[in-house]
Amino acid sequence: MPVYYCTADEVRAAEAATGDLLTGGTLMVRAAHGVAQAVLTELRGTGGCYGRSVGLVIGAGNNGGDALYAGAELGRHGVAVTAVLLVPDQTHEGGLAALRRAGGRIVASLPAGLDAVVDGVVGIGGRGPLRPAAAAVFAALDPDTTVVAVDLPSGVDADTGVIHNPAVRADITVTFGVLRRAHLLAAEQCGRVTVIDIGLGAAGDGSVAALTDADVAAAWPVPGPHDDKYTQGVVGIVAGSQQYPGAAVLCTGGAVAATSGMTRFIGGAAPQVVAHRPEVVAVERFDDAGRVQAWVVGPGLGVDERAEAMVERVLAADVPVLVDADGLTVLARRPDLRSGRTAPTLLTPHAGEFARLAGAPVGPDRLTATRELAARLGATVLLKGRITLVADPDGQVYGNDAGSSWAATAGAGDVLSGIAGALLAAGRSPLVAGAAAARVHARAARAASRGVPIGASDLLGAVPTALRDLLVDEQGATGVQRT
């Protein structure tokens, strides 16, 4: 099932529902133990624990208390622990006493050469950037020091994932019970996320989630014994031009790689498409296209009157439609082209195209911006990025962390559109089609890159391998460790 991400208020409600576990301090004890174990595991993996050194950066409240109790446990394992108290008169008293009993030292500044530093500055209630005193502590750390954040990195908003400047960049984030939205929306700032079971029940409404590999594998249109090319889905692609034939080649290639149904192509780049993909049924005139179960329109199409007429004809069809690239520019100029549509629509903008559609830049709160545009347009919106967000008009969001930005290369979006369009033709909802396509697309980019820059053709070539690996391993991987 999908991985769900909760708001700060939902986390607080789940904590309050535990009753005595919260008021009696049991939740804090469990949380602190989880933080300590995460640090100990890191130290053991790099030479053992005894005699190693760990620093704590302590703010006010329970987040600092978690870090202090964790430091006390580290001290009992022979780790030399030092702590900087940013707000001495608001430091958690019980945690501070425990740290001192375990031999921990309070210092004005952290010593050099620490093996790890625990960020206990602020928790899910934090707002805005690090204050100057905290920022100075982290700025002075050795570059190779492992940073472990308690709950989430300080300077990152829990609900929006907005990364303020300055903010802590963690190698490991240890959180409790349930994931926070920032763990998805600011994944690059959180590092590896470990979820500690502290006894919380279910939390949140599930409106922000991420599909696992197992979810994607289960949703993928694998042919059954009675399927044929038509039941697997026929996708029509209107893309490319004499000036941009590559967009047509990449988009149709993505569609062919995604499913075993049929791909039709309409446009002036038909000879180039067939030269690369002879299985594509390619024609130049829309009237010769034949029936399809979904359309993709826009990549490399241009924005002239001919392109506008093609976008209009596609959007008039009573089947699901994916609009991308130049098609989005046309749609931003002619929003009336959506009038009367009742069939599903999936829009796949990058940040610049999003701004044209919305009439304003995305801004730092990408989640709210994507949701609001989807609701306003009555369409599903896929906002591209390392963290791809797919929002439907009802506010359900699926996010996908690509884990890197190797897919940030010209033409990669054309491949994504082909994959998602094929899934639409196979009957998947725009929300699932967009999210599943984004996950396979990201896997293909990682497989193709192997740590070096790639082009979109390389990414396209890796789609079958990425898809094969995903379908074979139906257990999937969420990128989240649970202990």
Q: Is 418 annotated as a binding residue?
A: no
Q: Is 254 annotated as a binding residue?
A: no
Residue 233 and residue 154 share a domain = no
The pLDDT value recorded for residue 483 is 45
Residue that finishes a domain, picked among 187, 205, 223: 205
pLDDT higher than 80, residue 110: yes
Short-list 142, 168, 166, 144, CA closest to 57: 168
The pLDDT value recorded for residue 474 is 58
2 burial level (CB within 10 Å; 0-12, 13-18, 19+): middle
3-state SS class at 455 = coil
Residue 226 and residue 192 share a domain = no
Residue that finishes a domain, picked among 181, 205, 229: 205
How far is Cα 135 from Cα 404, in angstroms, rounded to an integer?
Answer: 26
pLDDT higher than 70, residue 81: yes
Q: Is 229 annotated as a binding residue?
A: no
pLDDT higher than 80, residue 480: no
Model confidence over 240-283: pLDDT tens digits?
Answer: 988 899 999 999 999 999 998 999 999 999 999 999 999 999 99
Residue 15, domain extent: 3-205
Provide the token pair at 105: 């030292």
Model confidence over 4-26: pLDDT tens digits?
Answer: 999 999 999 999 999 999 999 99
Which 8-state DSSP code applies to residue 468? H
Give the type of residue at 461. Answer: G
pLDDT higher than 60, residue 481: no
Question: Could you please report the per-residue DSSP string of 245-270?
Answer: HHHHHHHHHHHHHH-SSEEEEESTTH
Q: Is 77 annotated as a binding residue?
A: no
Residue 123 and residue 18 share a domain = yes
Across 227-231, 402-406, 477-481, least confident range: 477-481
Model confidence over 286-324: pLDDT tens digits?
Answer: 999 999 999 999 999 999 999 999 999 999 999 999 999
Model confidence over 44-60: pLDDT tens digits?
Answer: 998 889 889 999 999 99
The band of 479, judged by pLDDT with boundaries at 50, 70 and 90, is very low
Q: Is 228 annotated as a binding residue?
A: no
Q: Is 336 annotated as a binding residue?
A: no
Q: Is 65 annotated as a binding residue?
A: yes
% of the chain beyond a pLDDT of 70: 98
Mean pLDDT of the chain: 94
Q: Which helix (H) or strand (E) holds 345?
A: strand 345-347
Residue 323 and residue 469 share a domain = yes
3-state SS class at 234 = strand
Residue that finishes a domain, picked among 179, 205, 231: 205
Provide the token pair at 458: 């390389």
- Residue for token pair 């010593």: 111
Contacts of residue 171, Cβ cutoff 8 Å, sequence gap at least 6: 146, 147, 148, 191, 192
Model confidence over 413-465: pLDDT tens digits?
Answer: 999 999 999 999 999 999 999 999 999 999 999 999 988 889 999 999 999 99
Q: Is 441 annotated as a binding residue?
A: no
Residue 181 contacts residue 7 (beta carbons within 8 Å): yes
Q: Is 163 annotated as a binding residue?
A: no
Provide the token pair at 430: 């725009």
pLDDT higher than 50, residue 476: no
Helix, strand, coil share of the chain (percent; to 5): 40, 20, 40
Which 8-state DSSP code applies to residue 274? H
Q: Is 285 annotated as a binding residue?
A: no
Cα angle 355, 180, 473 (rounded to 5 degrees) comes to 90
Q: Is 404 annotated as a binding residue?
A: no
**For residue 388, what is the domain's CATH number?**
3.40.1190.20
Contacts of residue 209, Cβ cutoff 8 Å, sequence gap at least 6: 2, 3, 4, 5, 396, 397, 398, 399
**For residue 21, what is the domain's CATH number?**
3.40.50.10260
Residue 313 and residue 266 share a domain = yes
Q: Is 63 annotated as a binding residue?
A: yes
Q: Is 123 annotated as a binding residue?
A: yes
Q: Where are the alpha helices (DSSP H) in 155-284?
A: 182-185, 187-190, 213-219, 245-258, 270-276
Q: Is 388 annotated as a binding residue?
A: yes
Give the type of residue at 477. Answer: A
How far is Cα 363 from Cα 345, in angstroms, rounded to an integer?
Answer: 24
The pLDDT value recorded for residue 478 is 43
β-sheet bridge partners, residue 56:
83, 118
Short-list 313, 291, 310, CA closest to 234: 291
Residue 411 contacts residue 197 (beta carbons within 8 Å): no
Provide the token pair at 86: 């940013």
Dihedral Cα 89, 94, 100, 106, nearest 10 deg: -30
Residue 28 and residue 128 share a domain = yes
Q: Is 386 annotated as a binding residue?
A: yes
Q: Is 64 annotated as a binding residue?
A: yes
Model confidence over 335-347: pLDDT tens digits?
Answer: 999 988 999 999 9
Residue 49 and residue 9 share a domain = yes
Provide the token pair at 270: 């038909």
Q: Is 300 annotated as a binding residue?
A: yes
Report the domain count for the chain: 2
